[in-house]
Amino acid sequence: MNPPKKVQLLSPAGNLKKLKIALAYGADAVYGGVSHFSLRSRAAKEFRFEDFAEGVKYAHNLGKKVFVTINGFPFNSQLKLLESHIEKMASLKPDAFIVAAIGVLKLAQKIAPHIPIHLSTQANVLNVLDAQSYYEMGVKRIVAAREMSLKDAIEIKKHLPELELEIFVHGSMCFAFSGRCLISALQSGRMPNRGSCANDCRFDYEYFVRNVENDELIKFDGKEFYVKNPDNGAMMRLEETEGLGTHIFNSKDLNLSGHIHEILDSGVINALKIEGRTKSDYYAGITARAYRAAIDDYYKGEKREAFYAHELNTLKNRGFTSGYLISRPYEKNNTQNHLSAISEGSYQVNAEVLENGEWAICKHTIMQGEAKEIVLPFGQDVACGRSELGEIYEEDGKKMMRFDRICLENGKELTSIHSGNTNAFKLPLPLPAFSFLRQRQDS
């Protein structure tokens, strides 16, 4: 078995700007969709067909790739619409379709036989038997179920050396087998496998006991509460934060940045995938940059796990877990966050630099005389210098930007600017497109 070429880094593209940011920060390819046939219908609404077409051309001009997500599960009433959607997306000449349902796979092959098929993680491939079946159907790449182990990936590659394998390395984790959850459908009427999951697994839940005599529900205020399996005696403690409730289904976020060397040493993985089409612009950039660095470091024989961890911890997250690729689910008990559905990252984003590099949009307060850390796209650098508006200088190995004057595009000058102000403000000196300014959060 020959090891694959240099592994591909695949990032989410929730809209045209995020597509450009992900590519600028180191992604080799991006994935996204424009309709409800994609599993992120909220993100798809941000991506008009015209924007997606522009995104494909933009990526191809950079020598990079775009994969179209058609990984929802359509009803009979939608099949005609699905046909026209596949035809329309095929006309953009993307590099692959990502599909989950067998019928959609066959339809895509019939309508656009020249477009390679990648099998979505929604198909939940975990073994050689399923992988072989899809391979025989013409699937070029399988996006493995998040629940698959690296040992199983090695076994699949041993039997099917020509089949490409893609794995998730970062992002939200589902309470069920990759997207096979009905909680949202039952509680909110929103279908997880059709792109509209309400994330009910992240909700705050409170404990109540029922009085069997009058059917009255009474709030349970005990300090500790347990559920027990009478068959095997297994006990699970449920913790409730006063005034908030508990998070009984809430998984931590996947983060495999500390295992990149182990994964690539296996020689069987063709692509590393980041989840998060509905996440922020900053998320799109930082995740791509951190994993780009980890991949490149591997091929240079280097390892900077502290750097990868530091950058990824600047993102909002629910706590991190290594998921199931390295360890089986039953081998550890630290994959769940009982405290909250989301937490702040270690840094606050203050501004996003526009594509022209000379102006920025405020995301958090910037005061006159303050300095913010500059976050640059992958491989970019900026020279120190000064202007009448401020200065770029280096401090503790980081490039900083100080604002002596804050001048808006509408001609006004302020002593401070806040996130509610949507007017672009002039940078003291130009920065690369899509750079960010950030500051460390107070502990």
Residue 101's closest CA among 41, 8, 44, 37? 37
Per-residue pLDDT at 241: 59
Which residues, including other chains, have CB under 8 Å from residue 289's CB and lie 6 or more apart?
Answer: 25, 26, 311, 377, 378
Question: Residue 213 has what pLDDT?
Answer: 73
DSSP 8-state assignment for residue 50: H
- Residue 245 has what pLDDT? 57
6-16 burial by CB neighbour count: b if 16+ within 10 A, else e?
A: ebbbbbbbbbb
Intervals of the chain under pLDDT 70: 1-4, 36, 38-45, 175-186, 189-196, 198, 200-202, 205-212, 215, 217-229, 232, 234-248, 328-343, 443
CA distance 398 to 372: 10
Length of the chain measured in residues: 443
- CB pairs under 8 A, 24+ apart, for 56-63? 56/92, 56/93, 56/94, 58/16, 58/19, 58/20, 58/23, 59/19, 59/23, 59/29, 59/30, 60/93, 62/23
pLDDT value, residue 23: 98
Query: 98: number of CA atoms within 13 Å, CB side?
Result: 26
The answer to whether the beta carbons of residues 70 and 38 sit under 8 Å apart is yes
Give pLDDT, residue 318.
Answer: 83
Q: Which residues contact residue 101 at a Cβ distance below 8 angstroms, ignoring those fewer than 6 apart?
A: 73, 74
Residue-level pLDDT at 73? 86
- Contact status, residue 389 vs residue 426, Cβ threshold 8 Å: yes
Instruction: Check if the beta carbon of residue 421 is closer than 8 Å to that of residue 410.
Output: no
3-state DSSP of 118-159: EECHHHCCCCHHHHHHHHHCCCCEEECCCCCCHHHHHHHHHH
**Whole-structure pTM value:** 0.87
Query: Domains along the chain?
Result: 8-176+251-321 (3.20.20.70), 183-238 (no CATH), 347-440 (2.40.30)
The answer to whether the beta carbons of residues 372 and 437 sit under 8 Å apart is yes
Q: Is the dihedral of CA 163, 323, 310, 199 positive or negative?
A: positive
